[in-house]
Amino acid sequence: MPEALCGVDEAGRGPLAGPVYAAAVVL
């Protein structure tokens, strides 16, 4: 999920909320 993490990072969500937000987007 590097692409999803990069997208979240660019959005400025933060590294901690990154994987959680990415998982929500995938679902």
The per-residue pLDDT for 7 is 52
- Domain segments of the chain as ranges: 1-27
The per-residue pLDDT for 1 is 47
The per-residue pLDDT for 13 is 54
Q: What is the pLDDT of residues 1-27, one digit of tens each?
A: 455 554 555 545 555 555 665 555 555
The end-to-end CA distance of the chain, in Å, is 13
Phi (first) and psi of residue 14, to 5 degrees: 110, 150
The two three-digit tokens of residue 5, written as one number: 């993490």
